[in-house]
């Protein structure tokens, strides 16, 4: 049972945040107001769950007292009501316990989404294009904004690699479960004998870091400019607008050639670099998590095979899940319906965190 002291502390903090938001000092400070506004939203949700638990506990207590004095038909009615309340209470307490799990501060951030063709040649590039459409549809359904950062097209279509910026509420917290190796099993369009091939693409979801998160010293950067190129290496721009940035301390290299403006390409490349460095810092922290949790929800390492898209059987299998949560209809997933998979992964993660 959640201690009464904890519940009282949450209600007191909710009242304090409401008081602070009404003060002139906070009302005229956009940064403080935004921070307190986010905290107020979370506390309001917690307070509602607490009030639900407390109301059910009080109702159960009142019904038990009535059960001691009532007789006959009225006693039966009271017993039925008590059974109903006692069935609701554990679910309400579980919802409150889950809500009390500290959130990862990165979950609220926007995300940088990188998709790269893996094994499978041209078919892997085509599959990368399929994943791009999947995530684009998923983002559209949620009202998120997608911005192309960089792309290298495949010789037969699709993409060898593509980098996107995804902006909206809780983007990283939702998309982080997509990091890993995605495998496809199907008959490629180039296959004349109808044989099923297996190809793969890697997906990396990075929290988009702000300048206050990661401080990059200009002396640590080596910046090269060159002409943009398309499929086959042909030049698609007559000016040196493409940008390659090397972060000398880590050896990380980021390129961007999507924009015609060198300045815009440099800005996008820095955003990607900052996010990769931020993710590297998070990975150091995540490495301390238990082996059991990593086995359950995945560490995000690109060597992990997290999901298989099986076209002959019209099925998508997420290898981190079990039972009914494991398999999903292929066409639904390709149309951007990832909600069931992500919800199951989030629930599994929360259950592990509660037990740990």
- Domain limits of the chain? 4-99, 109-208+290-355, 218-284
Residue count of the chain:
356
Output 149 or 191, whichever has higher pLDDT. Answer: 149
Q: How many CB atoms lie within 10 A of CB 39?
A: 15
pLDDT band for 354, please (50, 70, 90 cuts). Answer: low
pLDDT value of residue 356 = 53
pLDDT at 18 over 90: yes
Instruction: Give the range among 140-144, 146-150, 190-194 with minimum mean pLDDT.
Output: 190-194
Give 264-286 pLDDT, tens digit per residue: 899 898 988 988 888 887 777 56
Region 38-62: mean pLDDT is 91
pLDDT band for 130, please (50, 70, 90 cuts). Answer: very high
pLDDT value of residue 129 = 95
pLDDT value of residue 297 = 36
pLDDT band for 288, please (50, 70, 90 cuts). Answer: low
> Which class for 237: exposed (0-12), middle (13-18), buried (19 or more C-beta within 10 A)?
middle
pLDDT value of residue 347 = 81
Distances from the Cα of 185 to the Cα of 84, 133, 161, 302, angstroms: 48, 18, 20, 19
d(CA 255, CA 221): 13
Give 69-116 pLDDT, tens digit per residue: 988 899 999 999 999 999 999 899 888 887 887 777 788 889 999 999
- Rounded to the nearest integer, the mean pLDDT of the chain is 85
Residues 6+ apart with CB under 8 A from 237: 227, 228, 257, 260
Q: Does 218-284 match 109-208+290-355 at the fold level?
A: no
Q: Of all residues in the chain, what percent carry a pLDDT higher than 90?
A: 45
d(CA 99, CA 91): 12
Instruction: Give the range among 17-21, 105-109, 165-169 with minimum mean pLDDT.
Output: 105-109
Output 289 or 155, whichever has higher pLDDT. Answer: 155
pLDDT band for 161, please (50, 70, 90 cuts). Answer: very high
d(CA 244, CA 153): 18
Region 239-258: mean pLDDT is 88
Distances from the Cα of 12 to the Cα of 7, 25, 95, 311, 312, angstroms: 9, 21, 20, 54, 57
The reply to whether CATH 3.30.70.1660 applies to domain 109-208+290-355 is yes
pLDDT value of residue 213 = 64
Region 238-259: mean pLDDT is 86
CATH class of 218-284: alpha beta
d(CA 307, CA 326): 10
């Amino acid at each position: 049972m959640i201690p009464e002291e904890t519940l009282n502390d949450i209600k007191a903090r909710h009242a304090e945040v409401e008081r602070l938001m009404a003060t002139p000092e906070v009302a005229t400070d956009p940064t403080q107001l935004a921070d307190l506004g986010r905290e107020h939203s979370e506390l309001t949700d917690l307070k509602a769950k607490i009030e639900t638990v407390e109301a059910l506990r009080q109702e159960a207590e009142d019904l038990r007292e009535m059960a001691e004095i009532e007789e006959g038909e009225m006693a039966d009615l009271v017993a039925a009501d008590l059974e109903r309340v006692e069935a609701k209470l554990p679910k309400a307490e579980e919802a409150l316990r889950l809500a009390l799990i500290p959130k990862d501060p990165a979950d609220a951030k926007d995300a940088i989404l990188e998709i790269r063709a893996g094994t499978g040649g041209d078919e892997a590039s085509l599959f990368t294009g399929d994943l791009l459409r999947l995530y684009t549809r998923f983002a559209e359904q949620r009202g998120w904004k997608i911005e192309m950062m960089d792309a290298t097209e495949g010789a037969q279509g699709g993409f060898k690699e593509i980098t996107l910026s995804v902006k909206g509420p809780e983007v990283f917290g939702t998309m982080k479960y997509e990091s890993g190796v995605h495998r496809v099993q199907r008959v490629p369009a180039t296959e004349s004998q109808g044989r099923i091939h297996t190809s793969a693409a890697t997906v990396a979801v990075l929290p988009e870091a702000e300048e206050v998160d990661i401080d990059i010293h200009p002396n640590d950067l080596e910046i090269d400019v060159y002409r943009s190129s398309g499929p086959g290496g042909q030049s698609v721009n007559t000016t040196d607008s493409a940008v390659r940035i090397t972060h000398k301390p880590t050896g990380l290299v980021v390129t961007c050639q999507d924009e015609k403006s060198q300045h815009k390409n440099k800005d996008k490349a820095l955003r990607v670099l900052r996010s990769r460095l931020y993710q590297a810092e998070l990975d150091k922290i995540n490495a301390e998590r238990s082996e059991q949790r990593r086995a359950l929800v995945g560490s995000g390492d690109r060597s992990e095979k997290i999901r298989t898209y099986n076209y002959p059987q019209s099925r998508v299998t997420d290898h981190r899940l079990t039972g009914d949560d494991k398999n999903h209809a292929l066409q639904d997933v390709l149309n951007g319906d990832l909600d069931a998979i992500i919800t199951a992964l989030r629930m599994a993660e929360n259950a592990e965190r509660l037990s740990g």
